[in-house]
Amino acid sequence: MAKRILVSKMLKTNLMHNNPTLAKYIPLTKRLKRDLLSSMLDQHGMVYVKPDQGSQGNGVIRIEKINRSYRYQNGLQIFTFTTFNSMYASLRKHFNHKKYIIQKGIHLLKHKGRPFDFRVMIQRNPKRKWECTGTLGRLAHPGKAVTNGSQGGTIYDPSLLLSPLIQTRTSAVLRHMNRLAHLTASQLSQTHPQLNELGLDIAIDRSLKPWILEVNTSPDAGPFSLLPNPKIIRTIVAYGKIYGKHHRSSCTKAKKAPGSSRG
């Protein structure tokens, strides 16, 4: 198997920041430091702390400062504190990775009270040009602060999640996300031309602005097999084959949206 490249979330963020357009769509992201966490909570009210080299939502913690109390959520558990010091003492017990990053929290759109975000797949096509091959919506497991399928998230056709909220502008939002995927692919492949595929996690905030939460350099195709349109997973798998990647065309971890029959 090819060596995994660009695993560090911080490194990917820094590379993307070299493109000034792209930089506007990345929430403020820094290496975790105690004082920075405190000041970012004062400033933004909500932040996410994540392992720099994590995946599948493991170890991703949402932290909030509400009035003068602090609260963090890890998995289904929520902990509340009256001081920053007591919160941080508890929080650091969860730190079992080497490096962590801190990112400004984005208030995700919600469907039936549960937050959702999107995964955009972009791949090199048979002509070696970057092409967006699929977008899916991921609805968080009830009571969780992460949308990952492996954390109990449910896969939706993106329009189904967006259209009740914004009606006519659904396709504009989807096009905007595709543009960001193309900018990201061009930017990262400047320094890493061996890249063939990327999976972008994109949140849409309440003003409909997209935010790139992270970019996966070895994205899982499986969840795309849960979309109603079977052509999407077929294309993803076919393009993968051309550059020597074997993608699974089934999914075991994420849930399928109710009533979304295939074919």
Ligand X SMILES: Nc1ncnc2c1ncn2[C@@H]1O[C@H](COP(=O)(O)OP(=O)(O)O)[C@@H](O)[C@H]1O
Residues of this chain that bind Mg ion (CB under 5 A)? 201, 214
Query: Residue type at 255?
Result: K
Structure tokens at 129: 């040009």
Tell me which of 139, 213, 221, 237 binds ligand X, using CB under 6 A. 213
Tell me which of 64, 157, 197, 214 binds ligand X, using CB under 6 A. 214
DSSP tag of 98: S
Expressed in angstroms, the distance from the first to the final Cα of the chain is 33
Residue 173 vs 235, nearer CB to ligand X: 173
CA distances from 249 to 195, 225, 232, 238 (A): 21, 6, 10, 10
Give yes or no for residue 6 binding ligand X (CB under 6 A): no
Cα–Cα distance for residue pair 71/102, rounded to 1 Å: 15
Q: In terms of Cα–Cα distance, which of 77, 63, 260 is closest to 251? A: 260
CA distances from 33 to 17, 48, 50 (A): 20, 13, 12
Structure tokens at 63: 């932290």
Give yes or no for residue 201 binding ligand X (CB under 6 A): yes
Query: Residue type at 174?
Result: L
Least distance (Å) from ligand X to the CB of residue 154?
A: 13
Least distance (Å) from ligand X to the CB of residue 29?
A: 8
Which partner in ligand X, Mg ion, none is near 56 (CB below 5 to 8 A by kind)?
Answer: ligand X
Q: How far is CA 252 from the centre of its chain?
A: 19
Q: 51: part of which helix (H) or strand (E)? A: strand 46-51
**Residues in 90-109 that interact with ligand X by CB under 6 A:** 103-106, 108
Q: How many CB atoms lie within 10 A of CB 101?
A: 20
Residue 150 vs 229, nearer CB to Mg ion: 150
> What backbone torsions phi and psi does residue 232 show, to the nearest 5 degrees?
-65, -55
Give yes or no for residue 27 binding ligand X (CB under 6 A): yes
Number of residues that bind ligand X (CB under 6 A): 22
Which partner in ligand X, Mg ion, none is near 26 (CB below 5 to 8 A by kind)?
Answer: none
Least distance (Å) from ligand X to the CB of residue 48?
A: 4
Least distance (Å) from ligand X to the CB of residue 57?
A: 4
Comparing every residue's Cβ against Mg ion, the nearest one is 201
DSSP tag of 2: P
Least distance (Å) from ligand X to the CB of residue 41?
A: 13
Which partner in Mg ion, ligand X, none is near 146 (CB below 5 to 8 A by kind)?
Answer: ligand X
> What backbone torsions phi and psi does residue 16 show, to the nearest 5 degrees?
-70, -30
Cα–Cα distance for residue pair 153/140, rounded to 1 Å: 5
Residue 70 vs 116, nearer CB to ligand X: 116
Which partner in ligand X, Mg ion, none is near 48 (CB below 5 to 8 A by kind)?
Answer: ligand X
Binding mask 43-72 for ligand X (x = CB under 6 A): -----x-x---xxxxx-x------------
Q: Contact residues for ligand X (CB under 6 A)?
A: 27, 48, 50, 54-58, 60, 103-106, 108, 117, 146-148, 201, 203, 213-214
